[in-house]
Structure 1
């Protein structure tokens, strides 16, 4: 395959430096200046090199070096072992095997790449582009259904007046849970489709680069990329439950959303007697004896936080910069590298399944959307964000701490701030009498929103759990329950479930405490091998995910059962 010798060398530079090329290595197909000839021979010793003047060069296949015999280049391809071989291999370990010339194999590989590239460009990429549009349309349809349900809900709430707020608080909780359950899988599938499109586009470019080159590909067994993407899974059916309102006999007004039902009965013309004939949001009750259904091993040196997303997955964080999404089988599904230099301070998940995390060094709360990290909230000067919580109602709660020196005494003040549509709408730091509600100190505050709108706070500095309503009035205080181990009460992470019950970890006593929504003690969970539990979250099936940092594992606990 000799090339015309009349081709000028002007503008052609050495492949090893920027000098004008004068020589050419036919063996390696490399342009060289006079000074780099020796360097080229030295770097690829002991392979032979056919160095000729540039105008006398020949364009030919570059055979790979033999892995078994240093200094030899492969001249053939062993069909039995599917590997390039040199002449010494043919008379040695590959003796008697059927071999063919490398040029023939190279042409077959190039033809395969051409066919693969054509299929990716003409069919597969187009198919995924159509699927992406289809998924986006499905998301838009679901969003429209959600908006219609929300509009109808708001109209009925106005009609039913303030007396039925408790009913609609439960409807809000179910509505937010359903929104996350419906949109989260669609957004996950959309992100995967976009990732596949980028991967296929990158493969097309790589294939084109190989087709332009005469260098034998080292790993030709993994070149094809189209097969694994030819038959992607179909979209699942995503349908919101209907929102129904019905007047019965002119006296009763009933309302339904999924499994939730409520009815108003009019007893006289002078007013409505509100008869809360409600069915619980979930037809579940607490089990007499809980069950561990999964134990998940993790690699984090200290497992801090868990934030469930959907049914069988959760985000987790430890002492490093990474936040990882794992499933109930222990498989790592996705990892996010945070923007700061240190570990994130807290994590949570929105109703749409989007990851939110705080960075106290950067004084910022971030959100992760389709793999991209965006700044969500910048805390005020002198305040640093610690733990975060995304509420059922769509708000974000942020624990903030400030450090103030007064007469050489350092005070670390804590407060919880509620953000609605990224605007600060509430500060929780004093009770209704103006007294300090949250104790000063370095300990974190863990918080959650209950179905009745109360904010339940686990204050690790005061070793107490306190709940406040939407106006900041204290609803209850819980200081622990004496039992078995008798260590001091050490409340940690806290969650609420669809029944309105409050669950929190007690690290020093190796257990969980369960309270009703009024702060009354219900039970202790201490028979599941919960050694120094720390992080805690609840998934959409009502199962508890408990982090055990000492043993580097997560236990998934079933404590609710169908009625």
Structure 2
């Protein structure tokens, strides 16, 4: 994740330097403009001095011309009085105006060494690395062991009114959100009383719903390629995709959002981890470069296990695909042989409980598969009248909530104690 964020962080650094460069360029330009203005002022002063000197010379020249004219008149005149009264101005004319010698101003560039220039611009701190001791502690479930019951108990059946219900998620121990193939997302209390209804922004049905760490509803919209957040009845887009369409969602124990998505031409699928709207991790290929998930638009429900494994119900591949927190493949579960389950295993919903058990819906065979954290089959939930189970979630008491796709019901089932 640090490597993935390097480009963005260094881009910020170069952007800061670019801003400083532009600022210094402006300062240099302003300084040069000021000096050019000073040159203009000096030029005007220089011109004024020379013009004054020229005017004095021209005035003296004019007096000389006038005197020459007078002398010419005397020379040609027969009147002696003019000659007698003539007073020579040669002495006056001999005193010429002092010659003006103005030296041109010079531009003397200041020599600045590169190091000095860098110090004027700013300072770049060196790369610094430290080692921080860490001890990994997987999230502990309950200290008490909850064993699977032989006799299951249906605690409640909530009639949601969804024609085709796909997803259920717990808001808290008393309320659940549900969604189906309509634009309405409904909130019920655990007794089945409708509490709230929100409508998707696009008017299309949501692919999936989840509740984030703040208690806000999050849903994905395949049509707008957007993941929305609904808080205080205000809807805002928090993640917008390009070239990919979001599918199913899971909020992790750390508050991150896991999103399954498929590319527009249905050839690739992947899991992306978001912190807010920032991509933290992409899970798509195994160590041999082979796709982890089937490349199609089939649903891929997702859940984080208590050991931080990421579990995906890949309907198109007919498998549950489990990777660890780093995205490395741990195992694939493709079915458990049973003489009574004759339909192909095509998982829909998936969830995990406090014992790190994995539960996945097998709609075609009207049952739920329960696996341990390492993918070993434990048992079916198939003796409580489930019809077409789809979306799943587990509450804080390890009660299982199951969507019955065509019936539009959510069944609450006790399967462990």
1:395 paired with 2:287, answer no
Q: Structure 1 residues 366, 513: closer, same or farther in 2, change over 3 A?
A: same
Q: Deviations over 1:79-105 (max 9, x none)?
A: xxxxxxxxxxxxxxxxxxxxxxxxxxx
Superposition map of 1:327-406 within 5 A: 327-379=189-241, 381-404=242-265
For 1:421 and 1:488, the matched residues in 2 are separated by: 38
Tell me what 2:386 maps to.
530
Query: Does the CA-based 8 Å contact 1:394-1:420 persist in structure 2?
Result: yes
User: Deviation of residue 542 (structure 1)?
Assistant: 1.2
1:319-334 to 2 correspondences below 5 Å? 319-334=181-196
Residue 492 (1) aligns with residue 348 (2): yes
Query: Does structure 2 retain, via aligned residues, the 8 Å contact 1:514–1:523?
Result: yes
When residues 356 and 282 of structure 1 are mapped into structure 2, their CA distance, relative to the original with a 3 A threshold, is farther
Which residue number in structure 1 is paired with residue 49 of structure 2?
none
- Give, in whole Å, the separation in 1 of the partners of 2:277 and 2:143: 29
* Matched position secondary structure for 1:528: coil
Query: Alignment partner for residue 460 of structure 1, among 283, 293, 315?
Result: 315
- Structure 2 residues not aligned, in runs of 5+: 1-131
Q: Is the 8 A contact 2:145 2:355 kept in 1?
A: no
TM-score by length of 1: 0.49
Contact (CA 8 Å) 2:169, 2:177: kept in 1 or not? Answer: yes
Report the alpha carbon displacement of residue 288 of structure 1 after superposing the two structures with TM.
Answer: 2.8
Secondary structure in 2 aligned to 1:508?
helix
The answer to whether the 8 Å contact 1:365/1:378 transfers is yes
Could you say which residue in structure 2 is the equivalent of 1:297? 159
Q: SS at the partner of 1:169?
A: coil
Which residue number in structure 2 is paired with residue 314 of structure 1?
A: 176
CA distance in 2, matches of 1:284, 1:442: 36
The one of the two structures with greater contact order (alpha-carbon pairs below 8 A, sep at least 6) is 2
- The higher radius of gyration belongs to 2
| Residue 334 (structure 2) aligned to one of 459, 479, 491 | 479
2:284 aligned with 1:423: no
User: Which ranges of structure 1 fall in alignment gaps of 5 or more residues?
Assistant: 1-157, 175-279, 405-410
Structure 1 residue ranges, 4+ long, deviating more than 6 angstroms after superposition: none
Q: Matches of 1:446 and 1:420 in 2, distance apart?
A: 19
Q: What do the CA deviations read for 1:135-179 (whole angstroms, capped 9, x no partner)?
A: xxxxxxxxxxxxxxxxxxxxxxx88x53xx3xx3225xx6xxxxx
**RMSD of aligned residue pairs (Cα, Å):** 1.6
| Matching residue within 126, 139, 156 for 1:170 | 139
Tell me if the contact between 2:164 and 2:407 (Cα under 8 Å) persists in the aligned partners: no
**Equivalents in 2 of 1:468, 1:298: separation in Å?**
34
Number of equivalences = 285
Deviations 1:356-405 (A, max 9, x none): 001111111111112211221112x211111111112211011111123x
Q: Deviations over 1:47-86 (max 9, x none)?
A: xxxxxxxxxxxxxxxxxxxxxxxxxxxxxxxxxxxxxxxx
Q: Would the aligned equivalents of 2:317 and 2:346 in 1 still touch at CA under 8 Å?
A: no
Quote how far apart the aligned CAs of 1:560 are.
2.2
SS in 1 for 2:349: strand
SS at 1:523 equivalent: strand
Residue 559 (str. 1) matches residue 415 (str. 2): yes
2:377 maps to 1:521 = yes
CA distance in 1, matches of 2:325, 2:397: 27
TM-score, scaled to structure 2: 0.66
In 2, the alpha carbon distance for the partners of 1:400 and 1:319 equals 18
CA distance in 2 between partners of 1:403 and 1:435 (Å)? 20
Spell out the pairing of 1:202-217 with structure 2 (5 A cutoff).
none
Match of 1:504 in 2: 360
